[in-house]
Structure 1
């Protein structure tokens, strides 16, 4: 009898595992984008046909010092530009002209680090402290309102209009929702839905590139490198569609997605999506890790043209930071400024860079 019960337990365990695997496949519309078949062109800037207008934004300094030094993420919303410096443990807010408004930094001892942040529909800021596993809620004036202990390890956050969240979870998470890649929670950080799972082909110790949620008025985009699949969500947090980007012979084989430190040289032949990717029926844009170098791309889907950033010299597309479906923001560092690579800069922007300041370039896109 004991043997029979043991066998029954094993059968149930196998069935349970099989059921778990079924959940990894989302029943949503899917689209395949074969970028390997597109005609490639190298460009030092976006072709004028795609740009409606362009402007430069000088980020205000204080006593010849920048409020942030290394820009890891920008969100352009609510007539504010939010700039994250992870190494400096600082989140600064500027108005749409670049005038400094306020900042949060670790000197307040409210957090240990900033893994990610997002801004909700009211202008409140939610900050993820990855070291202390907390989600902190700040007012639009950057006053700490509350915080919650997270029951899982979080990489990235997206605020939903109902007060809940989408979270990209860390591959090394050993607490609640272990092995889950992407989950939706309520405002109490309780899981409401799960979407994707980590498989065996993941490296917990080697991050080639970071990632984030990219939000527009109509949808939110999610891609977790090294997978070349972009998922879109409605503003309410419902999964809508999957886009699979295909780089042909340059796709990363499954077996090379783990133990990467022993296989880095193989990536001299690989191309993959990096950080964030936007896609609609007309075009796609974002950043690639292309043969071990970061590179902006713009794909005209109708003409099957792939425009790739010219890597021979730093230019305005070298550090793309945000795209809201209409406006693309990039950052120009003063140490990278040169006369040849930035010929279209305004005199005001040139002067600000020479003084050591940071300049943002905002492209307003022509394509709908």
Structure 2
């Protein structure tokens, strides 16, 4: 396993075989109407199996912000870009290891942009700057790297390929493609999906646009399509008709500063960004650049928004949504300890919840409300 992986990485580093841009694969794209948003919804209507999870807090495991979470083999892997680290916890929340390799040496990086898990080969794939993929084993030990020619923002993979979201606007120029696909068996690289005209340079919202779900999804700003990633290319599975919230074509004739764009979108309820997709048999849960969460119902074939989701057990809102990558359909809602204590003070709680909160300091890792998406 390790020898094969190293062989194609070395070959690829010496001589990259680049195939020109291909168009997305052609098939029927489902047209999904947006039917509007409601003020609130109970958690039990769209999610199940509520649990409270706490990740261990010690000097090596404190999390500033969860940017991506992937579950594999009963472990959670947590990306914290602000602290430039990747942390691993078991399913009970016990800390296993932390990768924080900032520097200029072997296996080190200046910034940590994203990560993925190659389950077939047994690697953690760290997308870093200077532009490269660093290969660590599943216990957090560095092994080798693949140098990249270009700028990339996100990474994901399946059994066949590695997928890289390109920075499509670099040095004030539009790049030729949006996604690079690296075929694992031979290292062939394909660039796909021509970028849209850039009207908001360097403006992004929150969350990730390449999912770690099954199937793998890809979205991009000012594009109302949800794409499926595969070795064959990109398939536009769903096209969402945002109706009155569609960003008008007439407004795409100028260039926007980020603050100007967000103010316009909030004032007019325009949607220009889709991210953080979580998949289940019935639904896809995601966020946009407007407040709240949205669900695409595969059965009804419509999208509805929820400005607030309430935990019915404690009667409190659920903040800080994070999809959990992997084969399951878990979702996290992350509560800083001091905010949760304020939310539920003077409540009659279970002994277990009381004991948990009493044991936690205000600067402990946040509590996680964990669910399965229905």
**TM score, norm. by length of structure 2:** 0.77
Structure 2 stretches lacking a partner, 5+ long: 1-19
Counterparts of 1:322 and 1:178, CA distance in 2: 31
Map 1:138-149 → 2, pairs under 5 A:
138-149=136-147
Partner of 2:57: 61
Q: Secondary structure at the match of 2:111?
A: coil
Partner of 2:240: 245
Counterparts of 2:325 and 2:144, CA distance in 1: 29
After TM superposition, give the deviation of residue 103 of structure 1 in Å. 0.7
After TM superposition, give the deviation of residue 224 of structure 1 in Å. 1.7
Map 1:17-36 → 2, pairs under 5 A:
23-24=22-23, 26-35=25-34
Map 1:357-368 → 2, pairs under 5 A:
357=364, 358-365=366-373, 367=374
Query: Relative to 1, partners in 2 of residues 1:88 and 1:281: Cα closer, same or farther, differing over 3 Å?
Result: closer
Q: Return the match for 1:356 from 340, 347, 363.
A: 363
The yes-or-no answer on 1:185 pairing with 2:192 is no
**Relative contact order, CA 8 A, sep 6+: which one is greater?**
2
Counterparts of 1:136 and 1:305, CA distance in 2: 38
After TM superposition, give the deviation of residue 200 of structure 1 in Å. 1.6
Structure 1 stretches lacking a partner, 5+ long: 1-19
Query: Relative to 1, partners in 2 of residues 1:237 and 1:157: Cα closer, same or farther, differing over 3 Å?
Result: farther
Map 1:139-218 → 2, pairs under 5 A:
139-162=137-160, 164-173=161-170, 178-187=175-184, 191-216=188-213, 218=214
Contact 2:323 2:330 in 1 (8 A): no
Number of matched pairs? 333
Contact 2:200 2:255 in 1 (8 A): yes
Partner of 2:47: 51
Contact 1:333 1:353 in 2 (8 A): no
Query: Relative to 1, partners in 2 of residues 1:76 and 1:237: Cα closer, same or farther, differing over 3 Å?
Result: farther
Query: Relative to 1, partners in 2 of residues 1:74 and 1:214: Cα closer, same or farther, differing over 3 Å?
Result: same
**What are the superposed Cα offsets for residues 137-185 of structure 1, whole Å, 9 maximum, x if unpaired?**
00111111001210121111112324x41111001247xx932101211
Counterparts of 1:94 and 1:151, CA distance in 2: 33
Q: Secondary structure at the match of 1:267?
A: helix
Counterparts of 1:210 and 1:298, CA distance in 2: 16
Contact 2:157 2:212 in 1 (8 A): no
After TM superposition, give the deviation of residue 193 of structure 1 in Å. 2.8
Query: Relative to 1, partners in 2 of residues 1:233 and 1:195: Cα closer, same or farther, differing over 3 Å?
Result: same
Query: Relative to 1, partners in 2 of residues 1:201 and 1:24: Cα closer, same or farther, differing over 3 Å?
Result: farther
Partner of 2:339: 336
Counterparts of 2:186 and 2:262, CA distance in 1: 37
Counterparts of 2:103 and 2:239, CA distance in 1: 43
Q: CA RMSD in A?
A: 3.3
Counterparts of 1:354 and 1:96, CA distance in 2: 21
Partner of 2:257: 260
